[in-house]
């Protein structure tokens, strides 16, 4: 058995990618098409991502426009955006939904920073779980006689260094997001 540090690296990078995707849904006071990524619409008997029922665009910095392809989906889409917990109030105009992005107040910015911190903590937990799995695999391999004690110690140190690097990456992503959120 050979220890797969690349597999651990891939799994830890997955946690980082997940964090980046969660950050896309956090509002920063500027309109972004990614802001509506978490919105799922009840369409045709199942839940679909918003971008599969219409075009999402940002014609100006404080406005998102969703052009719905099927006019029967307008009400369901508007309801999904309103109930997504993003603090947005969509305005229906025929087959177009206009979503003005209100300026964030200080209290809401602080709340969003806390949410960003929670997302970051969840990513760190995922990374540490991957490290634990790797360390357990190393201990088992040594116990089974597949690798030497020195090799187990060396690979364990590599795993810890990788974990420390990924946790530092999470911290810097959270710090960047907090700066972006606090910008007025």
Query: Is there a single domain that holds both residue 111 and residue 94?
Result: no
Q: What is the DSSP string of 6-74?
A: HHHHHHHHHHHHHHHHHHHTS--SS--GGGGTT-EEEETTEEEEGGGTEEEEEEETTEEEEEESSGGGH
Residue whose structure tokens are 């025929």: 94
Bridge partner residues of 48 (DSSP)? 41
Phi, psi of 34 (to 5 degrees): -70, -15
94 shares a domain with 55: yes
Contact 11, 157 (CB under 8 A): no
How would residue 1 be classed by pLDDT, with cut points 50, 70 and 90? very low
The residue range of the domain holding 173 is 5-23+105-182
Q: Provide the residue count of the chain.
A: 184
Claim to verify: residue 126 and residue 93 sit in the same structural domain: no
Q: List, for residues 137-154, the tens digit of each pLDDT value.
A: 999 988 888 888 898 899
Say what percent of the chain tops pLDDT 70.
96
174 in the same domain as 126: yes
Other Cβ atoms less than 10 A from the Cβ of 74: the count is: 20
Same-domain status, 18 and 109: yes
Same-domain check for residues 124 and 176: yes
pTM of the model: 0.67
Q: Are residues 109 and 122 in the same domain?
A: yes
96 with 119, same domain: the answer is no
């Amino acid at each position: 058995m050979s220890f797969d540090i690349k597999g651990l690296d891939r799994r830890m990078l997955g946690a980082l990618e997940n964090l980046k995707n969660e950050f896309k849904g956090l509002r920063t006071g500027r309109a972004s098409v990614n802001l509506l990524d978490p919105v799922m619409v009840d369409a045709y008997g199942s839940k679909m991502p918003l971008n599969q029922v219409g075009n999402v665009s940002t014609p100006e910095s404080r406005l998102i426009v969703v052009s719905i392809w099927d006019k029967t989906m307008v009400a369901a889409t508007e309801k999904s955006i309103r109930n997504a917990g993003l603090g947005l109030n969509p305005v229906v105009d025929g087959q177009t939904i206009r979503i003005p992005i209100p300026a964030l107040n200080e209290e809401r910015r602080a709340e969003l920073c806390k949410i960003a911190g929670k997302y970051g903590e969840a990513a760190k937990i995922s990374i540490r779980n991957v490290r634990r799995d790797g360390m357990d695999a190393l201990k088992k391999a040594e116990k089974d006689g597949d690798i030497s004690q020195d090799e187990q110690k060396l690979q364990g140190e590599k795993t810890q260094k990788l974990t420390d690097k990924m946790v530092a990456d999470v911290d810097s992503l959270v710090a960047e997001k907090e700066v972006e959120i606090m910008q007025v």
